[in-house]
Amino acid sequence: MKLHEYQAKERLAAAGVPVQSGLVAEKVSQIPSILKKLGRGPWVVKAQILSGGRGKAGGIEIVKTPRRAVEAAGRMLGKSLVTAQTGPAGLFVHRVLVCKAVDIEREIYAAVVMDRRAGRPALVVSAGGGVDVETLAAASPEKVLKIAFDPFRGLDRFQARRAALFAGLTGELCVPAVEAFLGLSQTFLSSDALLVEVNPLSVVKGNRLMAVDAKMVVDDNAAFRQKDLFAEGDESCLAPSERRAHKKGLSYIPLDGSIGCLVNGAGLAMATMDLLLLHGGRPSDFLDVGGGAHVDQVTEAFRILLTDKKVKAILVNIFGGIMKGDVIAQGLLDAVKKSGLDRPLVVRLEGNRAEEGRRLLNEAGLRIVAAADLADAAEKVVAASKGNP
């Protein structure tokens, strides 16, 4: 789960990281009193959406007068903001964060990530802030420092010092930088984060450090012990169909093709999508009903595909390991009966009790095309999606 900038900054501030002071507004009418509390301008008005690219898309404005601040908030609140990263529909802006503008002298990149290769968290810093660190790391690896640290103890002080010196935070900036990096580590561990990123961590006028922007991703698997964080979670970056799928415990990601895929298991689901591409089709989704899906999950998965207008044909690919073929077939028939079937459906059942399942489907007298194997299934559904049954 992604956190908003303002949520990430709250967590970081609580861990002792200096953040640019700001307040959140949900209505334009709140702006004047927020400006009073913040003190003299100029200020920055920042749209709170769970996506990047805000600056270039009009989602961040520097304003010098209260009137301009109100206007800027009015342009953002209650509307969708389209950035290079949101997709054409954009994301709805429910809140803006209003901050006191700062004079930035230098920008640093700092983040804590889960380093998969090391199997440990790692602090990543670079003296060049405001950059795309992956691009930088690929082009000039010597400009990025990564320090893996102990997942129980957190970042050690000497490691934080090394990072500070690497990022050019020397002299009187060294101790505040060490404290800030330790705060990042603490936030990462205490929030079950997968990513805590401060980009930029800025040196502002008066030689002070300040987190000007912040991003956090929290581990969905830790929802059971991060109840507060998940209670204020925002699913607005998900499509309505994605939210419905998540409620039913389905793994669903809409894509832009025309063939609906319903598969058990993530690896097989991906392999099925890839196979469609090889046969000249494109998947409309990734939809994994899991290894031990229930009938109502299959029904819901079906409904999601049928409500998607892009879907011209549907491919169900199930390899019954734990799931029994006849149970799946019955679930499919129930789902088809409930939602009606107005598009071609190709079913490929294999594995445990697959034959019994295929028999059930054939005897139902519905327009379901049974596929002999994986290649046959792909061929048939691609043909059907192009109107050649």
Partner 1 sequence: MSILVDKDTKVLVQGITGEAGSYHAKGCRDYGTRIVGGVTPGKGGSFVDGIPVFDTVREAVEKTGADATLVFVPPPFAADAILEAADSEVRLIVAVTEGIPVLDMARVKAVLRSSHSILIGPNCPGLITPGDEGRPGCKVGILPGSIHRPGRIGVVSRSGTLTYEAVWQLTRRGVGQSTVVGIGGDPVKGLGLTEVLALFEKDSGTDAVLLIGEIGGADEEEAADFFRTRMTKPLFAFVAGRTAPEGKRMGHAGAIVEGGGKGSGAWKEKRDALAAAGVKVIESAAEIGEAVLRGLKSV
Which residue ranges make up the site for partner 1 (CB under 8 A)? 114, 116-117, 119-121, 132, 134-135, 137-138, 150-152, 189, 192, 194, 219-222, 224-225, 251, 253, 255, 263-278, 282-283, 286, 288, 291, 319-322, 350-352, 373-375, 378
Q: How far is the CB of 290 from partner 1 (least distance, A)?
A: 8
Amino acid at 265: G
Distance CA 300, CA 250 (A): 9
Q: How is residue 13 written in tokens? A: 């501030």
**Alpha carbon 372 to its chain's center:** 37
6 is catalytic: no
Q: How is residue 274 written in tokens? A: 């890839």
263, β-bridge pairs? 288, 317
109 is catalytic: yes
Nearer to partner 1, 121 or 331 (CB): 121
Nearer to partner 1, 163 or 378 (CB): 378
Q: How far is the CB of 103 from partner 1 (least distance, A)?
A: 31
Instruction: Quote the strand ranges of the chain, DSSP E.
Output: 2-3, 22-25, 43-47, 60-63, 80-81, 91-92, 96-100, 104-115, 120-126, 144-148, 193-204, 208-211, 214-218, 251-254, 259-263, 285-288, 313-320, 345-351, 368-370
Q: How far is the CB of 16 from partner 1 (least distance, A)?
A: 20
Amino acid at 300: E
Q: How is residue 219 written in tokens? A: 């581990």
Q: How far is the CB of 87 from partner 1 (least distance, A)?
A: 10
Nearer to partner 1, 138 or 366 (CB): 138
Nearer to partner 1, 140 or 207 (CB): 140
Which residue out of 6, 61, 107, 109 is catalytically annotated?
A: 109
Which residue out of 107, 197, 242, 350 is catalytically annotated?
A: 197
Please give the positions annotated as active site: 109, 197
